[in-house]
Amino acid sequence: MSGLRIVLLEDNANDAELIQEFLQADHLCCEIVRVQSRADFEAALKTVGIDLILADYKLPAFDGLSALEVTLRERPEVPFILVSGTLGEELAVEALKSGATDFVLKTRLSRLVPAVRRALREASERAERKNVEQALHRSEMYLAEAQRLSHTGSFGWYLLSGEIYWSDETYRIFELDAAIKPTVQAIIDRTHPDDRVRVQQIIDRAASERKAFTIEHRLLMADASIKYVRAVAHGVNGCDPDRFRFVGAVMDITERKRTEQTLLERESKIRRLVDANIIGIIVWNFDGEILEANDAFLRIVGYEREDIGSGRVGWRDLTPQEWLPRSERALVEAGQTGRAQPYEKEYIRRDGSRVPVMVGLATFDASGTEGVAFVVDLTERKRAETEAHESELRYREVQRELAHANRVATMGQLTASIAHEVNQPIAATVTNAQAALRWLAGQPPEVEKVRQALGRIVNDGNRAGDVIGRIHELIRKTPPRKEPVDINKAIREVIELTRGEAWKHGALVQTHLADRLPLIEGDRVQLQQVLLNLLINAMEVMSGVSDGVRELLISTARADSGCVLVTVLDSGPGFAADSAERLFAPFYTTKPTGLGMGLPICRSIVEAHGGRLWASANVPRGAIFQFTVPAHPDASS
Ligand code: ADP
């Protein structure tokens, strides 16, 4: 033992010397700081590295027990030995009770060194113990922190007593109050109902077989959320079989389970996609090789797996020359962004035929030397598109046929009144010609009158010719045209044609045609067919009205969004408020010989022109039919 630092509280110099001698005689090499007052004592206590205090019991200005008090407060770890000449037994016991390490009578200083040695030994043991305790405490703290961070709690389970010990983290995982002692029942209660039987079985078996066990199960928490936990434990026997216990760890693996589940779901989706063999999938590289292909891809391109696998046929070989630039563009895109927007292309099948496909690309990694491509066969879709296009064409053709049939039928209805229209100028021509003959036969011939008669003949001939020309156009089957149409002019011509019909039904036809209307774009004959239908319908229904005037007003106006609006308004019986739409249904008619196809055909004509046709009620009676047609794009407004 060397370099001991001893604080010696002693007023008597001789005693102090004696004490030092005793110590040194026993080879206790030490440095002694001698103090006599409280102040010096307290100051000495503050020095670092004091190993021992030796204190006299009675001093003029201080005393041993007070010194003990100060020591216990300031440096409780330093051993304190009372060295006194006068200490009675009672005082000695009291001093020991108060915390003194030992006491030695000055009369028996031979005991000093053994007492010092023992005190030092005990102090060192205490210090050692404290260190160990501190280390233990630290490691417990680290362990608790590690448990918290890794969501892993620990537990001990004493089989005989049934006692279970949990670490804080285990309590946290189970979300149970740390004040409650854990039990097997508490664990079962916390377990998800569907897992309870299994967990109970594993626990029972572990208890009876005393073998290491692992359980993975779900916990149902108070807020109805679910946690996944995994517990592993092994048996610790010790020497005493009655003290057999399981020691283990319980981990909260919820996060991991969720990730696993997401991955599994994703994988199973991908698997389904691959297995379903609807979408062709290939793994490709920039060198043009196909590294892998599923059955669907092979089916699309008509190759065998060996052809692809041998590397003889790469994706560039499968791509027709004219599609290569598009494919290379997609590759550049995939190389830069990791994926390429799906695009359409064609592959050359083994038999040389072409197959239309939609391809989506994605590269696997940042370096992007390989990737996956999803290939959808578009053959069916393309066929459906062609069929749809063809049936659309057929539909249009049928519509045209129908419209033509309707026109011919309508014109048939008008035959009588048109004959009248044509007869009139012809009769006038005959009358004028007869008069001219008479004027020519006169002496002298009345040349001027003849000239005037001939002029009238030309006019009447032209009028009849015009009517016939228009009838001819209306019943002729012409392909649909797209031309600028002056709707006001078209209306006037139809009115002209239906004049006789109007007269027959006693209808008074009026017009209100807007000036400076833009031309519209479309087929004049078809639009006139619409007008013809609307006018004849109105005249027909009005003929049934016995009282009041039979008025028919046709007007045009500029409508919103660059359209022209045509309105046909009558004072007929009108229709029930809720049947405005019904009138346009095919075969809807209220006429004994009606076909019910006029209005639906009109509507399809107007819609084909990009416009709308609808009906509404007139006030106080009658019907209003209106339609819009977009103006010609070049029409100046
Ligand atoms: P149809 O003239 O052969 O009956 P339409 O499709 O042209 O076929 O007309 C269908 C029905 O719409 C007519 O039967 C008639 O009941 C009704 N309708 C058409 N125009 C008018 C109108 N101006 N006023 C009242 N009802 C009308």
pLDDT in tens, 95-117: 899 999 999 998 888 899 999 99
Does 633 lie in the same domain as 487?
Answer: yes
Does 287 lie in the same domain as 178?
Answer: no
**pLDDT of 193 over the 80 cut:** yes
Q: In the beta sheet, which residues pair with residue 108?
A: none
Does 190 lie in the same domain as 119?
Answer: no
Q: Looking at residues 268-284, what average pLDDT do you find?
A: 80
State the pLDDT at residue 595.
Answer: 79
Q: Looking at residues 534-561, what average pLDDT do you find?
A: 89
Pocket test for ligand 1, best of 545, 582, 583, 595 (most atoms within 8 A of CB): 583
Q: Looking at residues 43-58, what average pLDDT do you find?
A: 91
Does 486 lie in the same domain as 634?
Answer: yes
In a domain, 203, yes or no: yes
Q: Is 464 in the pocket of ligand 1 (CB under 6 A)?
A: no
Does 610 lie in the same domain as 504?
Answer: yes
Q: Is 621 in the pocket of ligand 1 (CB under 6 A)?
A: no
Q: Is 507 in the pocket of ligand 1 (CB under 6 A)?
A: no
In a domain, 402, yes or no: no
Centre of ligand 1 to C-alpha 541, Å, is 8
Does 191 lie in the same domain as 52?
Answer: no
Ligand 1 atom closest to 572 (CA): 24
Does 632 lie in the same domain as 502?
Answer: yes
Does 634 lie in the same domain as 488?
Answer: yes
Q: Looking at residues 130-152, what average pLDDT do you find?
A: 91
Range of the domain at 46: 4-129
**pLDDT of 276 over the 80 cut:** no
Q: Is 541 in the pocket of ligand 1 (CB under 6 A)?
A: yes
Give the DSSP letter string of 576-629.
-GGGTTGGGSTT---STT--S-HHHHHHHHHHHTT-EEEEEE-SSS-EEEEEEE
State the pLDDT at residue 42.
Answer: 94
CATH number for the domain spanning 293: value is 3.30.450.20
Cβ density class 326-340: b for 16+ within 10 Å, e for less: ebeebbeebbeeeeb
**Strand, coil or helix: 159:** coil
User: Whose Cα sits closest to atom 8 in ligand 1?
Assistant: 596
Centre of ligand 1 to C-alpha 539, Å, is 11
Centre of ligand 1 to C-alpha 618, Å, is 15
Centre of ligand 1 to C-alpha 349, Å, is 58
In a domain, 271, yes or no: no
> Do the strands 4-9 and 52-55 form a parallel or antiparallel pair, or are they unpaired?
parallel
Centre of ligand 1 to C-alpha 591, Å, is 8
Domain total of the chain: 4
Mean pLDDT of the chain: 89
Give the end of a domain, one of 330, 355, 377. 377
What would the pLDDT profile of 389-424 be if each residue is shown by its tens digit? 988 888 777 777 777 878 787 777 777 777 777 888
Does 64 lie in the same domain as 174?
Answer: no
Q: Is 596 in the pocket of ligand 1 (CB under 6 A)?
A: yes
CB atoms within 10 A of CB 479: 6
* Two structure tokens written together for 600: 């639906």
Q: Name the phi and psi angles at 55, rounded to 5.
A: -130, 135
User: Whose Cα sits closest to atom 11 in ligand 1?
Assistant: 589
Does 637 lie in the same domain as 515?
Answer: yes
**What pLDDT band is residue 61 in, cutting at 50, 70 and 90?**
confident
Does 501 lie in the same domain as 370?
Answer: no
State the pLDDT at residue 636.
Answer: 52
As a whole number of angstroms, the distance between CA 609 and CA 320 comes to 41
Does 174 lie in the same domain as 72?
Answer: no
In a domain, 13, yes or no: yes
Ligand 1 atom closest to 600 (CA): 6
In a domain, 555, yes or no: yes
Q: Is 591 in the pocket of ligand 1 (CB under 6 A)?
A: yes
Residue 324 in contact with residue 332, Cβ under 8 Å?
no
As a whole number of angstroms, the distance between CA 114 and CA 473 comes to 143
**Which one has a higher pLDDT value, 469 or 556?**
556
**Strand, coil or helix: 551:** strand
Centre of ligand 1 to C-alpha 537, Å, is 6
Residue 11 in contact with residue 55, Cβ under 8 Å?
no
**Strand, coil or helix: 279:** coil
State the pLDDT at residue 635.
Answer: 63
Q: Is 502 in the pocket of ligand 1 (CB under 6 A)?
A: no
Pocket test for ligand 1, best of 589, 605, 621 (most atoms within 8 A of CB): 589
Centre of ligand 1 to C-alpha 413, Å, is 15
Ligand 1 atom closest to 574 (CA): 25
In a domain, 431, yes or no: no
User: Whose Cα sits closest to atom 4 in ligand 1?
Assistant: 589
In a domain, 447, yes or no: no
**pLDDT of 2 over the 60 cut:** no
Give the end of a domain, one of 317, 350, 377. 377
Residue 626 in contact with residue 599, Cβ under 8 Å?
no
Q: Is 570 in the pocket of ligand 1 (CB under 6 A)?
A: yes
Least confident of 115-124, 200-209, 232-241: 232-241
In a domain, 348, yes or no: yes
As a whole number of angstroms, the distance between CA 386 and CA 356 comes to 13
Ligand 1 atom closest to 601 (CA): 6
* Two structure tokens written together for 85: 């000449």
Q: Is 630 in the pocket of ligand 1 (CB under 6 A)?
A: no
Q: Is 308 in the pocket of ligand 1 (CB under 6 A)?
A: no
**pLDDT of 479 over the 80 cut:** no
Q: Sheet of 52-55: strands edge to edge?
A: 30-35, 4-9, 52-55, 80-84, 102-105
Query: How many percent of the chain have pLDDT more than 90?
Result: 53
**Which one has a higher pLDDT value, 548 or 174?**
174
Pocket test for ligand 1, best of 537, 552, 589 (most atoms within 8 A of CB): 537
**pLDDT of 1 over the 60 cut:** no
Binning the chain into helix, strand and coil, the percentages to the nearest 5 are 50, 25, 25
Q: Considering only CA atoms, which of 18, 3, 80, 67 is closest in space to residue 40?
A: 67
CATH number for the domain spanning 574: value is 3.30.565.10
Centre of ligand 1 to C-alpha 181, Å, is 90
**pLDDT of 65 over the 60 cut:** yes
Centre of ligand 1 to C-alpha 623, Å, is 10
CATH number for the domain spanning 23: value is 3.40.50.2300
State the pLDDT at residue 155.
Answer: 95
Q: Is 540 in the pocket of ligand 1 (CB under 6 A)?
A: no
Q: How far is CA 466 from CA 122, 286, 469, in A?
A: 139, 73, 5
Q: Looking at residues 204-215, what average pLDDT do you find?
A: 92
**What pLDDT band is residue 637 in, cutting at 50, 70 and 90?**
very low
